[in-house]
């Protein structure tokens, strides 16, 4: 892979004025005086190879339905290059509209109505919502105090989930949203061993996988011993900011291939042709852009630590190992169970509210690091103002 020196940091490419012209959720949910660091969109331009493939398709009027194995082949290539993993077999993949659609389709394969899906809170709120919407029960196996998978909690949850001979699944966020925890091979091996023992099927949501930061290494769940009957759901949407260009891949382990083939064709109705083209180009041709992004995120996670230590020492921060989402413990800041409400109202900075992440969410917020250092400084200034620590706060963002 190319080094980041060849590509400028995409997090520094766009001015705030230009970003405010965007019409996506991040920029249009709150009034223009609110600085948005909430939903998982990044303040970056598209990688040039992605923009090119889209522009060419539009020029050709090539805007029909998606077809072919190009996306899966690109993922297989990327997995070999980045993760030294040869386990993506194209005939064990299915293209779906997005990661959550893939998760739902797999949960329908391996569980029935009323069965349990184990979650590891605090975790991405749609996990709770989609599981409930599919008529499955959520059983919680909370992360431990260090934000890591807790084998004891998982075993207790598995036991409860399969009671009465019911089918059950574990929906894993790997890397973990919101803590940025990158699960290690021993941790994942322990999960696989427990899942086998209790007959629980594992679905690993690996949408943040390309975003693992220096110091950690991504371990594909399907590469773990004992995980041969599991599923992974992946997409280029988070790492290259393509959420508006719908496409994702379900990957089945060798023992789950037959089940994946039973997925009804309706499950693959949603992916957009432009999405498939964009995701494929990102995986194949935007590795140097990704490296530059990772360099910028690495710097931002350090900068955030410094800013918080200086201006908001009561806020607990553990540097994320992967992704661009950080989980801030504001329980000592005196802002109640939902500090995001106070940060929004008084500080005019939009962060993601903690309680919807489930157990361990109260008193927390999630902050999105995928922005410029100037915006990050301004966000901390606004947060400090919210808790009445205005003096000595860093200077504002430049919008030019």
Ligand X SMILES: Cc1ncc(COP(=O)(O)O)c(C=O)c1O
Binding site residues, ligand X, CB under 6 A: 40, 98-100, 124, 173, 177, 205, 207, 235, 237-238, 243, 248
CB of 37 to ligand X, least distance (A): 14
Place of tokens 């393509």: 242
> Do the strands 364-368 and 352-353 form a parallel or antiparallel pair, or are they unpaired?
antiparallel
- Pick 7 or 246: Cβ nearer ligand X: 246
- Pick 123 or 384: Cβ nearer ligand X: 123
Sequence-distant (≥ 6) Cβ neighbours of residue 186 within 8 angstroms: none
CB of 123 to ligand X, least distance (A): 8
- Pick 206 or 229: Cβ nearer ligand X: 206
Q: Report the sign of the C-alpha dihedral through residues 239, 149, 213, 288, in that order.
A: negative
CB of 364 to ligand X, least distance (A): 16
CB of 174 to ligand X, least distance (A): 9
Q: Is 6 left (phi over 0), alpha (psi -120 to 50) or beta?
A: alpha
CB of 102 to ligand X, least distance (A): 8
- Pick 111 or 120: Cβ nearer ligand X: 120
DSSP state of 300: H
CB of 238 to ligand X, least distance (A): 6
- Pick 4 or 177: Cβ nearer ligand X: 177
- Pick 130 or 317: Cβ nearer ligand X: 130
CB of 302 to ligand X, least distance (A): 22
CB of 7 to ligand X, least distance (A): 24
Buried/exposed 219-247: b ≥16 CB within 10 Å, e otherwise: bbbbbbebbbbbbbbbbbbbbbbbbebbb
CB of 5 to ligand X, least distance (A): 29
Q: Is 56 helix (H, G, I), strand (E, B) or coil?
A: helix
- Pick 94 or 207: Cβ nearer ligand X: 207
- Token duo for residue 287: 């590795």
- Pick 180 or 363: Cβ nearer ligand X: 180
CB count in 10 Å sphere of residue 54: 19
CB of 205 to ligand X, least distance (A): 5
Sequence-distant (≥ 6) Cβ neighbours of residue 309 within 8 angstroms: none
- Token duo for residue 205: 């949501």
List C-alpha distances in Å: 171 to 107, 126, 189: 9, 12, 15
355 exposed, middle or buried (CB, 10 Å; 0-12, 13-18, 19+)? middle
Phi then psi for 236, rounded to 5 degrees?
Answer: -85, 5
End-to-end CA distance of the chain: 33
- Pick 153 or 248: Cβ nearer ligand X: 248
CB of 156 to ligand X, least distance (A): 23
- Pick 26 or 311: Cβ nearer ligand X: 26
- Pick 284 or 366: Cβ nearer ligand X: 366
Answer for the pair 229, 201: CB distance below 8 angstroms, yes or no: yes
* Long-range CB contact pairs, 342-349, < 8 A, 24+: 342/386, 343/382, 343/383, 343/386, 344/30, 344/34, 346/385, 346/386, 347/382, 347/383, 347/385, 347/386, 348/33, 348/34, 348/35, 348/382, 349/34, 349/35, 349/37, 349/379, 349/382, 349/383, 349/386
């Amino acid at each position: 892979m190319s080094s980041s020196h060849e590509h400028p940091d995409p997090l520094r490419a766009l001015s705030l004025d230009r970003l405010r012209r965007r019409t996506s959720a991040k920029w249009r949910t709150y009034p223009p005086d609110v600085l948005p660091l909430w939903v998982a969109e990044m303040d970056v331009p598209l990688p040039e190879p992605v923009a090119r493939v889209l522009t060419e398709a539009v020029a050709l009027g090539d805007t029909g339905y998606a077809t072919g194995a190009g996306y899966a082949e690109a993922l297989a290539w990327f997995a070999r290059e980045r993760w030294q993993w040869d386990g993506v077999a194209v005939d064990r993949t299915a293209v779906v509209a997005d990661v959550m659609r893939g998760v739902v389709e797999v949960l329908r394969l391996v569980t029935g109505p009323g069965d349990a899906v184990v979650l590891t809170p605090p975790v991405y709120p749609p996990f709770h919502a989609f599981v409930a919407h599919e008529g499955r029960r959520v059983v919680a196996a909370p992360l431990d105090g260090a934000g890591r998978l807790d084998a004891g909690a998982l075993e207790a949850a598995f036991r409860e989930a399969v009671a009465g001979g019911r089918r059950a699944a574990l929906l894993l966020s790997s890397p973990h949203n919101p803590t940025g925890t990158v699960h290690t091979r021993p941790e994942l091996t322990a999960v696989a061993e427990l899942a086998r023992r209790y007959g629980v099927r594992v679905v690993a949501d690996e949408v943040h996988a390309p975003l693992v930061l220096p110091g950690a290494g991504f371990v594909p769940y399907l590469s773990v011993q004992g995980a041969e009957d599991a599923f992974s759901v992946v997409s280029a949407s988070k790492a290259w900011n393509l959420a508006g260009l719908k496409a994702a891949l379900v990957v089945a382990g060798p023992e789950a291939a037959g089940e994946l083939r039973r997925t009804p064709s309706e499950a693959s109705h949603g992916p957009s042709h432009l999405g498939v083209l964009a995701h494929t180009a990102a995986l194949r041709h935007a590795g140097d852009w990704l490296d530059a992004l990772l360099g910028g995120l690495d710097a931002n996670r350090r900068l955030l630590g410094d800013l918080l230590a200086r201006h908001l020492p009561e806020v607990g921060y553990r540097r994320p190992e992967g992704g661009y989402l950080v989980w801030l413990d504001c329980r000592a800041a005196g802002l109640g169970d939902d500090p995001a409400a106070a940060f929004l109202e008084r500080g005019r900075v939009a962060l993601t509210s903690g309680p919807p992440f489930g157990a361990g969410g109260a008193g927390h917020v999630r902050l999105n690091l995928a922005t410029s250092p100037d915006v990050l400084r301004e966000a901390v200034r606004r947060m400090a103002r919210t808790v009445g620590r205005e003096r000595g706060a860093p200077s504002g963002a430049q919008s030019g």
